[in-house]
Amino acid sequence: MPDRATDHITLKSRQIPVIADCDVVVVGAGPAGLSAAVSAARNGCSVTLVERYHHLGGMASGGMVLVLDDMVNGGSEIVTTGIVTEFVERMEAQDGAVYPPPQDCLKSWEMWQKWSRWGCIDFHKTGMPQPIIHAVAFDPDTWKRVSLDLVGEAKINLRLHSWFSEAIIDGGKVAGIVCQTKLGRQAIRCSMVVDATGDLDLAASAGADFIKGQYIVTTVFRLAGVDTERAEKFEYENPQEYKKLDRRARRVIGGAWGMWWLKTPIPGIVWCNCPHMAGYDGLSPESMVAAEYEGRERMMNLLAFARENLPGFENARMLGAAEQIGVRQTRLLQGEYVVTRDDVKSRRHFADSVCRGRDYYTPYRALLPRGIDNLIVAGRHYSCESEAQKSSREIPPCMAQGEAAGVAVSIALDENVALRDVNAKKIQRQMRAQGADPGDVPSSNALVEQPPAAE
Ligand SMILES: Cc1cc2nc3c(=O)[nH]c(=O)nc-3n(C[C@H](O)[C@H](O)[C@H](O)COP(=O)(O)OP(=O)(O)OC[C@H]3O[C@@H](n4cnc5c(N)ncnc54)[C@H](O)[C@@H]3O)c2cc1C
C-alpha cells in the first residue's frame, strides 16, 4: 500500500521494450526537429523522429503561428534558405503559402495596402509605412502535409503519439530515450540525440545546464466568415476612425501586437496572434490550464466586439483556438557558448556560425551542452540569454538550426568523434552544399571580431 503520509511515491523499476535502434533520435517534430531529422537522414543517418502529438509542426501547425519571419537581412538578403526554401516552395505548390514577389518588397503605401495584412512587413522598422519584406503567410494543415511528405521521402522512422519522458544515460552519453505511449513505456536506442522539444526536455533529463526563462503566452485563434476586402477598404479609407476602433479592440483582447488580425491563404479566414498573457509557466500543467481559461474568455470578448463594431467582421465566427497553446520560452540551454542579447542586437558574427536568422548569427557552440558528447539541441531552447531568445526564436531560424544539427550529427557519426569535436568549417561547407546559408560569410552590416573558422 502506498504511504499516504509522504508527498512522493517510489516506483519499482520495470523492463521496457526497445522498439527501435538507430543512428539518431530526434525528439520533437516542430520546425527545428523536422529539419534536423530530414537533414540527418539525407546525410545517410538512420533516424527516428519522436513527437508527442498526432501531427508534425509544433508551434507552426498545432500552435497556428502562421507567418514565417526573420528571413531577411537589410530588407532584401534572404538568409534562411535550404530546407526553409524547399518547405515554402512545397507549401506554395499546394496553395498553402503566400508571400510578396521581390518587386513588391518596397517601402510604399501602395505595397503596404497590398501586403501588410499578410504580415509581410518589417516589424523592426519604425516609421510608416514599414517596408514590405520576404515573409510567408501559410496554412497550418499544409504545413502538416508537407512535413509528412518530407519525413516519408527521407525514410525517417516516425513515432507520433510518443511523449519523451527520460534520457537513458550510459557512461556520460545518451544511449537512448524512453517515451510514454498508450501501449506503455517504450525505449529507443541510438548513437546521437537531437533535442528539438522547444522546452529542452531531453537535455534537461540528461543533466545539461539550463536556465528557466519566461515570456508571454498566447492562445492563438482563427476567425472564419470575415470580409477581409471590406475590412481593409474601411481601414485605408477611414484611417482615423479605424485607429480608434483598433485601439478599443486591442484593449478588449488585452495584449496584442499592432496587427492583431492577418489574412491567411484561405479566403475569409483570419489569423489572430493574440491575446498575449504574462506570468504563465509553459512547463506547468496548472499554469497552462489557467492560461487556457483566460485566453478563451478574452478571444470570445474580442469576437463579440469585432462583430458589433468592425466593418468586415459582422458575420465573423470563431473557427477555433490552436491545438497547442502558444508558449514562447521555458528552459534555455546554457551550453558551450551562451548567445547574449548584445550578440543579437549588435549582429555579432561568429567564426563557427552554422546558421542565421534576420541579421543575427548562431555559433555551433550554442547548440551544444557542456559535458555531454552526443547530444545537440535545435530550436527555441538553444543556448542563449532569455532576452536574446525573445528576438532570435522565429520559425525559419529554428529550422536552420535543425538543418545544421542534422549535418553535425552525420559528420560526428562518419568521423566517430564527439559532437564538440566536429569542425564547424565542415558543417558550413555541407550547409552550403544543401543550399542553406550557414552565416560563414558575414554580411556587410555584421560586427566581425574573429577570423573565419579554420579547416
Ligand atoms: C504565439 C506565438 C507567436 C509566434 N509568432 C511567430 C511568427 O509570427 N513568426 C515566426 O516565425 N515565429 C513566431 N513564433 C515563434 C515560433 O513559433 C517558435 O519559436 C518556433 O516554432 C520554435 O520551433 P521549435 O521547433 O524550436 O519548437 P516548437 O515549435 O515548440 O516544436 C517543439 C516540438 O516538440 C514536441 N515536443 C515537446 N515536448 C515533447 C516531448 N516531451 N516528447 C515528444 N515531443 C515533444 C512538440 O509537440 C512540438 O512538436 C511565435 C511563437 C508563439 C508561441
Q: How far is the CA of 59 from the centre of ligand 1 (A)?
A: 4
- In the predicted model, is pLDDT for residue 1 greater than 60? no
pLDDT at 258: 85
Indicate the top mutation candidate among 179, 180, 197, 355 to test ligand 1's pocket, ranked by most ligand atoms within 8 A of CB. 197
Cα angle: 343, vertex 280, 333; to 5 degrees: 35
Atom of ligand 1 nearest to the CA of 401: 26
CA-based radius of gyration for the chain: 22
Mean of pLDDT over the chain? 96
- What are the backbone angles phi and psi of residue 49, rounded to the nearest 5°? -110, 120
Higher pLDDT, 382 or 454: 382
pLDDT at 336: 98
CA distance 282 to 331: 9
pLDDT at 394: 98
Determine whether the shortest distance from the Cβ of 295 to ligand 1 is under 6 A.
no
* Protein residue whose Cα sits closest to atom 35 of ligand 1: 28
- In the predicted model, is pLDDT for residue 224 greater than 80? yes
Determine whether the shortest distance from the Cβ of 394 to ligand 1 is under 6 A.
yes
Task: Dump pLDDT digits (tens) for 97-118.
Answer: 999 999 999 999 999 999 999 9
Q: How far is CA 282 from the centre of its chain?
A: 15
CA distance 308 to 295: 20
Task: Dump pLDDT digits (tens) for 22-50.
Answer: 999 999 999 999 999 999 999 999 999 99
Task: Dump pLDDT digits (tens) for 285-323.
Answer: 999 999 999 999 999 999 999 999 999 999 999 999 999
Determine whether the shortest distance from the Cβ of 362 to ligand 1 is under 6 A.
no
pLDDT at 10: 85
Q: What is the pTM of this model?
A: 0.97
Burial of 129 (0-12, 13-18, 19+ CB in 10 A): middle
Determine whether the shortest distance from the Cβ of 33 to ligand 1 is under 6 A.
yes
Amino acid code (one letter) for 383: S
Give the DSSP per-residue string, 392-406. S--HHHHHHHHHHHH
Task: Dump pLDDT digits (tens) for 155-188.
Answer: 999 999 999 999 999 988 999 999 999 999 999 9
Q: In b/e form, how buried is each residue of 154-188, taking b as 16+ CB within 10 angstroms?
A: bebbbbeebebbbbbeeeebbebbbbebeeeebbb
Atom of ligand 1 nearest to the CA of 328: 53
Nearest C-alpha neighbor of 219 from the set 314, 288, 285, 136: 288
pLDDT at 11: 82
Task: Dump pLDDT digits (tens) for 383-409.
Answer: 999 999 999 999 999 999 999 999 999
pLDDT confidence band for 2 (50 / 70 / 90): low
- Any idea how long the chain is? 455
CA distance 14 to 36: 32
Indicate the top mutation candidate among 34, 324, 395, 401 to test ligand 1's pocket, ranked by most ligand atoms within 8 A of CB. 395
Half-sphere exposure of 198 (CA within 13 A, CB side): 27
Dihedral of CA atoms 454, 348, 448, 78 in degrees, nearest 10, equals: 90
- In the predicted model, is pLDDT for residue 120 greater than 90? yes
pLDDT at 451: 72
Contact call for residues 384 and 342 (beta carbons, < 8 A): no
Using a pLDDT cut of 70, give the percent of the chain over it.
98
pLDDT confidence band for 6 (50 / 70 / 90): confident
pLDDT at 172: 86
Task: Dump pLDDT digits (tens) for 75-88.
Answer: 899 999 999 999 99
pLDDT confidence band for 454 (50 / 70 / 90): low
Burial of 406 (0-12, 13-18, 19+ CB in 10 A): buried
pLDDT confidence band for 204 (50 / 70 / 90): very high
All 3 cell numbers of residue 247? 485601439
* Protein residue whose Cα sits closest to atom 53 of ligand 1: 326
Between strands 47-50 and 157-159, the pairing is parallel
